[in-house]
A and B are shown apart, each in its own frame.
Chain A
């Protein structure tokens, strides 16, 4: 589901089931022409759909991070900590095609060009969730 699908009463009823948060990241530098931006963002949207559709009942897509910026790892660590304190167990970053994350970051999973395939991406998420079960 998307964050926009929730209101207070839906959240009160179902928050226990949504333990995974997805942050889209466009990673734009400002060098992109408008058609290139369209291409990148539609690629990002496609990746998001690989996750949003099959895992609709467990995953919430949050508002996106736009543009690359200084201090990415510090900021995302801060973000992830806060998200965990809201109750999310897993935080997944979904990156627009051809964007590379060089910095260290604390996401449980990063979907980028390395797992650029719907089946692979699904499998990684399932593995993430399975790991959690085996930890218990």
Chain B
């Protein structure tokens, strides 16, 4: 291990790269070893941790899942009940989806009550809010994919709510539904949004979020 690393390092000089990312002191007011109440600063990291689990388990789930109205439900049923650890992998994704929202909400509360959104970090608050919305979008689109009754009607109601928006409501509905009813077109659309578009947007936003926190540092003590 070590020799492989040094061989690489000799040629590519990779040490400074990760040192730059990893080597920074944890300020005292953020370290739970000094003040136990500082655990509230963990929620951002936990959100990221759960997000990583979501990405991983989601990638594995697509090995079996089929986004098509005939096969979607049977493929989910199959991967959950017939494939080894299927219930665990799907369980991770299912419960993780709720957990990521909870963690993100706690993180937002922490940032709000420590006033960390104030200058010069307003931009990061805005990006954080965008991530929040993307996450909700991921939750909404992912909910339809098992294509069971709950999924179907939840999406129907969700789209009806979106439709009530003034002026653009009808267009949003049409865009989400992809057709006259919640059906085949909606399912493939939601799958594409859930698996490609929103994760890509989310990764870009997360990159910005982390870049800014590195640049500006964590906000000072209260």
**In the complex they form, do A and B come into direct contact, defined as C-beta atoms under 8 angstroms apart?**
no
- Partner-A contacts on B (CB < 8 A): none
Residues of chain A touching chain B, judged by Cβ–Cβ distance below 8 Å, are: none
